[in-house]
């Protein structure tokens, strides 16, 4: 799959593409990333990409024309139409199910806004999807785009050291959308705290039940909405309901 990223700061993406386990996805071109700078498509000697907002107010607004010309170039290089994603506070909150869908597709063009925002006419004419990482504001869309690319890259075959790793992630349907359980490693005792005895028992069924109960308890405490969603979907067993009842 291929992601074309429109950004005024392409240099920010270098560490993402060359560091950590996800670099395997980028180096192998399982997830190809091509960077485009709208300043290269701006007019005039100063290659201006922003201007003051009509109606007054603070900040600057990104011009529609350089963005549109840059998008045209990216789509021409792709050779086919593609979704155009803008990272925006008004976008749909990104969830695991959406990441899985994007990870199995052909990619998209990602638009990283800056300053006070982007001329609405470009958004209305060219953007097909808007995505938000949450109820907060960043200085630009680059961090959101990198989070999006990282989430997609780690789901590609062979990227993680253990193919089962992402299956146990929080929000994964394989865990019925619950949060993940606590994890422990050596030493057995640290800072006066011991590893839970069941994890040292060697009884795999008991260990799995403990982990399931921990996932239920943590999700009930931190994200009760996920418990209700799992319940509505019929994903909770009688044993699950009994474990939840003990926590109430």
Instruction: Classify 161 as helix, strand or coil.
Output: coil
DSSP 187: -
Structure tokens at 207: 């260990």
Residue 178 scores a pLDDT above 70? yes
Report pLDDT digits (tens) over 207-230.
Answer: 999 999 999 999 999 999 999 999
Residues 29 and 89 in one domain: yes
Helix 224-232 with 204-222: angle, nearest 10 deg: 120
Would residue 228 show up in a list of annotated catalytic residues for this protein?
A: no
Strand order in the sheet with 117-118: 50-51, 61-62, 117-118
240 within domain boundaries: yes
**Phi and psi at residue 93, to the nearest 5°:** -60, 130
Predicted TM-score (pTM) of the model is 0.92
Band of pLDDT at residue 23, cut at 50, 70 and 90: very high
CATH of the domain at 90: 3.40.1280.10
CATH of the domain at 203: 1.10.1270.20
Of the candidates 24, 83, 116, 209, the residue annotated as catalytic is 116
Of the candidates 126, 154, 212, 215, the residue annotated as catalytic is 154
Smallest Cα–Cα separation from 26: which of 150, 125, 211, 171? 150
Mean pLDDT of the chain: 95
Report pLDDT digits (tens) over 51-61.
Answer: 999 999 999 99
Whole-angstrom Cα distance, residue 231 to residue 1? 35
> What pLDDT is attached to residue 38?
98
Whole-angstrom Cα distance, residue 72 to residue 125? 12
Report pLDDT digits (tens) over 62-91.
Answer: 999 999 999 999 999 999 999 999 999 999
Residues 23 and 146 in one domain: yes
Would residue 142 show up in a list of annotated catalytic residues for this protein?
A: no
Residues 55 and 121 in one domain: yes
> What pLDDT is attached to residue 163?
64
Could you tell me if residue 47 is left (phi over 0), alpha (psi between -120 and 50 degrees) or otherwise beta? left
Domain holding 216, by residue range, is 170-247
Report pLDDT digits (tens) over 124-167.
Answer: 999 999 999 999 999 999 999 999 999 999 999 999 976 666 76
Of the candidates 89, 173, 182, 196, the residue annotated as catalytic is 89
Would residue 11 show up in a list of annotated catalytic residues for this protein?
A: no
DSSP 140: B
Number of domains in the chain: 2
Of the candidates 53, 169, 231, 235, the residue annotated as catalytic is 169
Residues 57 and 148 in one domain: yes
Residues 86 and 189 in one domain: no
> What pLDDT is attached to residue 30?
97
Q: Are 224 and 247 in contact (CB under 8 A)?
A: no
Q: Among 99, 125, 153, which residue terminates a domain?
A: 153
Would residue 89 show up in a list of annotated catalytic residues for this protein?
A: yes
> What pLDDT is attached to residue 164?
61
């Amino acid at each position: 799959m291929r992601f074309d990223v429109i950004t005024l700061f392409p240099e920010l993406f270098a560490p993402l593409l060359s560091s950590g386990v996800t670099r395997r996805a980028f180096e192998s071109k399982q997830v190809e990333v091509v960077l485009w700078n709208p300043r290269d498509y701006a007019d005039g000697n100063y290659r201006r990409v922003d201007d003051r907002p009509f109606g007054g107010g603070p900040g600057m607004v990104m011009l529609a024309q350089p963005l549109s010309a840059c998008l045209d170039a990216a789509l021409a290089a792709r050779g086919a139409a593609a979704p155009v994603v803008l990272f925006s506070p008004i976008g749909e909150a990104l969830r695991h199910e959406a990441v899985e869908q994007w990870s199995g597709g052909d990619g998209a063009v990602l638009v990283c806004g800056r300053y006070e925002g982007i001329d609405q006419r470009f958004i209305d004419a060219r953007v097909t999807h808007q995505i938000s990482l949450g109820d907060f504001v960043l200085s630009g869309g680059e961090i959101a785009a990198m989070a999006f690319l990282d989430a997609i890259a780690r789901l590609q075959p062979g990227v993680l050291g253990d193919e089962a790793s992402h299956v146990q992630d929080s929000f994964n349907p394989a865990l019925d959308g619950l949060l993940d359980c606590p994890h422990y490693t050596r030493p057995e005792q640290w800072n006066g705290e011991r590893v839970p005895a069941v994890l040292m028992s060697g009884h795999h069924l008991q260990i799995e039940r403990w982990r399931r109960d921990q996932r239920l308890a943590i999700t009930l405490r931190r994200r009760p909405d996920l418990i209700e969603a799992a319940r509505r979907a019929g994903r909770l067993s009688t044993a699950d309901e009994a474990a939840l009842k003990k926590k109430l």
